[in-house]
């Protein structure tokens, strides 16, 4: 028998955009993540934009991991293979348990539904952190955010939190 956790839990989320150029007015991906979370009935407890710098990224993630209210942290941007892209290395340093299936599914869906072989450039990842929290790192494009949120994160967030808190 399948159990549906989709509406059983109000998720408290923090959203981080990693960019050297985005502002709150131009951050289409961060805004979209917040809109999708709210539409799904979840709460946004914090939001920030930081430059592509490991220290800046790590400081805000560390702050949110120590906040007892935070359930879910979603980071967008800085996940590519350019020299300045350091989000993945920073995020992975916080993982207690990595969820490789997230990145695998994300790349598969990106390949089949959206961008073809360019999907191999994505280093999107997810894992558990802070004892009982979820941490996701997504590419910075609005399309990638839309795909990850609608097809992977929102349908499974409550269930994943249930599992990590067992």
| pLDDT at 8 (0 to 100) | 55
pLDDT, tens digit (0-9, with 9 covering 90-100), for 116-159: 999 999 999 999 999 999 999 999 999 999 999 999 999 999 99
Considering the domain boundaries, does residue 7 fall inside one? no
Model confidence at 20: pLDDT above 80: yes
**70: domain CATH number?**
3.40.980.10
Question: Has this prediction a pTM greater than 0.85?
Answer: yes
Give the domain extent around 69: 12-164
pLDDT, tens digit (0-9, with 9 covering 90-100), for 80-110: 999 999 999 999 999 999 999 999 999 999 9
Considering the domain boundaries, does residue 3 fall inside one? no
Q: Per-residue DSSP letters for 80-102? A: SSSTT--HHHHHHTT-SEE-HHH
- Give the number of domains in the chain: 1
Q: What DSSP designation does 145 have?
A: H
Considering the domain boundaries, does residue 5 fall inside one? no
- Cβ atoms within 10 A of the Cβ of 101, count? 10
Model confidence at 59: pLDDT above 80: yes
Considering the domain boundaries, does residue 4 fall inside one? no
- The two three-digit tokens of residue 114, written as one number: 């959206």
Which 3 state secondary structure label does DSSP give 20? Answer: coil
| pLDDT at 72 (0 to 100) | 98
Q: Which residue has the tokens 């917040």?
A: 34
- The two three-digit tokens of residue 33, written as one number: 């993540």
Model confidence at 4: pLDDT above 50: no
- Cβ atoms within 10 A of the Cβ of 77, count? 28
pLDDT, tens digit (0-9, with 9 covering 90-100), for 24-48: 999 999 999 999 999 999 999 999 9
| pLDDT at 65 (0 to 100) | 98
| pLDDT at 114 (0 to 100) | 77
Considering the domain boundaries, does residue 66 fall inside one? yes
């Amino acid at each position: 028998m399948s159990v549906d956790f989709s509406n059983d839990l109000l998720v408290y989320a923090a959203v981080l955009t990693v960019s050297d150029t985005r502002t709150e007015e131009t951050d289409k991906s961060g805004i979209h993540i917040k809109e999708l979370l709210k539409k799904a009935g979840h709460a946004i407890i914090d939001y920030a934009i930081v430059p592509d710098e490991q220290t800046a990224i790590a400081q805000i993630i560390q702050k949110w991991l120590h906040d007892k209210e935070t359930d879910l942290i979603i980071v967008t941007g800085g996940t590519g293979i350019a020299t300045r892209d350091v989000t993945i290395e920073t995020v992975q340093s916080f993982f207690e348990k990595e969820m490789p299936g997230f990145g695998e599914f994300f790349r598969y869906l990106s390949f089949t539904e959206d961008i073809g072989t360019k999907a191999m450039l994505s280093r999107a990842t997810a894992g558990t952190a802070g004892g009982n929290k979820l941490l996701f790192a997504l590419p910075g494009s609005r399309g990638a955010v839309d795909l990850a949120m609608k097809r992977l994160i929102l349908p499974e967030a409550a269930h994943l939190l249930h599992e990590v808190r067992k």
